[in-house]
Structure 1
Amino acid sequence: MARLLKWLSWAMGIADVAIGALHLTTGLAAVPGAGSPGPTVDSLVRFFSAIFLGYGLAWIWVARQSPIPSRAVRLLAGVFFLGGASRLLSWAALGRPNWFQLVLMGIELALPPLYFWLSTADERETAARSRQTGVTTPGPARSTP
């Protein structure tokens, strides 16, 4: 399970960086069905692409940690789910988007529960290995009352 979490975290990070970079460099041309709404919307798309690129870098950072921090996975997966929920809100408010946006929405709503389920896998496996070898790894600082 930990290997799947690591692989999915890397895949999410690389995909998001690539998508963010594509949108940053090509603007509205990278948005299926966008047409040419003008410079304001293009500016908005390019701005959000930089945020998306940063989001992908955050996933890559998470994938490089050992163990992969479950809190960070849940936070990033929650943001991803919020993106899918936002697409649902847009659909309800303005109507059905391009078919490709529906595919993206499905991914954005389906993957986060998987990430939530896997979020503690690496921490659990690291703790189990530590118990087997008798080596303890420092955990988060906790205060005692």
Structure 2
Amino acid sequence: MTKAKALRVLVVTLGYACVAIGLFHVLIGNAAIPGERSAGPTIDSLGRFFGAIFAGYGLAWLWAARRSPIPAAAVRWPAGVFLLGAFGRLLSLATHGWPHAFQVALGFIELVLSPVFLWPADAEEKALPVPAQGEAARRHA
């Protein structure tokens, strides 16, 4: 599989996963968080709100996947946000201790997968043939 094809598969897969996870949190609230069914209405409200945000984040990945070529910036920015989420989990671990094992697994995936998106981020842009100088000027006119 080429780097460009791998990029497209990764972007689409993460996009659909984030939309599904986000909507799952919006629809079932606290029950979507392992061990937190009785967290109360404040955490339920917060979780459903962030579920909607996460679904929107997934839609941003899917928007990027619909571009041809996929712009490197449309991969790098959301991958950076994904990595920031992993750092947030590490900060929580440092200040409050170990969460549910499922949350630890998610943090590990976020920490490892974020850089994987950065590696092929410009693969499709680089795969395009370089236009002749006159052709490039006509396209931008």
Q: Equivalent residue for 1:62? A: 64
Q: Equivalent residue for 2:114? A: 112
**How far does the alpha carbon of each residue in 1:79-103 deviate from its partner, in whole angstroms, 9 at most, with x for none?**
0000011000001111100000011
Q: Equivalent residue for 1:35? A: 37
Query: In structure 1, how many angstroms separate the alpha carbons of the residues matched to 2:94 and 2:115?
Result: 23
How many positions carry a matched residue from both structures? 137
User: Which SS does the other structure have where 1:118 is aligned?
Assistant: coil
Q: TM-score, normalised by structure 2?
A: 0.90
Query: In structure 2, how many angstroms separate the alpha carbons of the residues matched to 1:3 and 1:116?
Result: 14
Q: TM-score, normalised by structure 1?
A: 0.88
Question: CA-atom RMSD, angstroms?
Answer: 2.1
Query: In structure 2, how many angstroms separate the alpha carbons of the residues matched to 1:26 and 1:98?
Result: 18
Q: Percent identity?
A: 51
Q: What amino acid maps onto 2:49 in structure 1?
A: F
Alignment of 1:117-132 (within 5 A): 117-126=119-128, 128=129, 130=130
- Pair 1:102–1:21, CA change in 2 (3 A): same
Consecutive unaligned residues of structure 2, counting only runs of 5 or more, are: none
- For residue 21 of structure 1, the aligned residue among 1, 18, 23 is 23
**How far does the alpha carbon of each residue in 1:43-94 deviate from its partner, in whole angstroms, 9 at most, with x for none?**
0000000000000000000011001010110000000000011000001111
